[in-house]
Amino acid sequence: MTYKFDKGIIDKYIKKLDLTELYSDESDLKKYKISIYEFLISENYEPSIILGNGAYGVVCKAYDKKNNRYVAIKKIVWDDDISVKRTLFEVKFLNILNHTNIIKLYSASIHESIELYIITELMDYDLHKLIYSSEKITNKNLKYMIYQLLDGIKYLHGYGIMHRDIKPKNILINQNYLLKICDFGLAKKYHGSAHGLPVSDNSEKMTDYVVTRWYRDPTIILNKGIYTELADIWSVGCVIAEMVLKRPLFDGDDEKDQIEKITKVLGPPPEPRSLPEAGPRPWRSRVEKAKHWSVKSVFSNINIDPKLCDLLDNLICYEDVRFTADEALNHPYFMEDKSLIFRIWDKLGPALWGRR
């Protein structure tokens, strides 16, 4: 079905988010064709190759002649009102975020009314490609990436922002293992804090259709719109586990199968909050009979740092006992034999990229 374009919807969100600068001068735009895709961008950029494509757009690599650097240019062609809202909110979030482990936004603009171009710093590849490559991740580099991921999440939660779609493909890295969190299309500003009131209120019940299923906090599935920023921590734990196992930790075929895979490891979720009366659950009886294990059992037959295993046990658990990002960063896995890079990270971080 063809999207019935409504410029009023775009103008509404641009005004709400104070993004009027997106309507830029189009006099210096030039049309480029890369593979089967067309890009209408400034002559300051020389696009070269397609880096990837997804539900909302396509990304190319380009050389920024004006600033003498390579960049990533994401072209988004809106096809429904939801895509308009999500992508404009993403631009707004990236405009205000400033942290080494969050992808840096250089500029964004709307061309021909329905095309949004987002220009960011360029990274070498995403974490998914690294995990499933032949490259062996050393324990030192693994710890470095985990620390950065948690530090980026701590920064987001400090600003009251939930990412809500942490997964390997939304985590970018370079050849030196510098890590950046990207894709804020599902991110949301929230009120409240971890271990406090749930992040929703009577006026706006949050959607439970967030986070790719394999990385989705069971609280989201079971509570149907009542969850906290600790949902991001669950996703982080699943990503770390995948880095270690070289496979997804919980790869459910559907929502029911996902919950059953989780409860086979963690046992039934605690009552009463995590099992509200939120509609039929024909599989609930099987969930409640599951044997209670710890996620540590998953790693019993592989070579893993015991402290990392303990950290994962505090990330991949039900929400009432799950670590915050700050608690995770203070875990003995990072504290003991802490390398110089982490000491520099802790002491110089706030001066380098602002609020943490």
**For residues 327-336, b (16+ Cβ closer than 10 Å) or e, as one string?**
bbbebebbee
Residue among 126, 151, 165, 183 flagged as catalytic = 165
333 vs 4: CA distance, rounded Å: 53
List C-alpha distances in Å: 219 to 41, 156, 205, 240, 302.
43, 20, 14, 19, 28
Measured between alpha carbons, how far is 217 from 233 in angstroms, rounded to an integer?
A: 9
Q: Who's near 145: CB < 8 A, 6+ residues apart?
A: 127, 137, 173, 177, 179, 243
The residue count for the chain: 356
DSSP, collapsed to helix, strand or coil, labels residue 308 as: helix
User: For residues 155 and 35, what is the distance between their CA atoms, to the nearest angstrom?
Assistant: 38
Instruction: Respond yes or no: is residue 165 known to be catalytic.
Output: yes
Element (H or E) spanning 36, and its range? none
- C-alpha closest to that of 256 among 239, 273, 280, 226: 280
Catalytic residues: 165
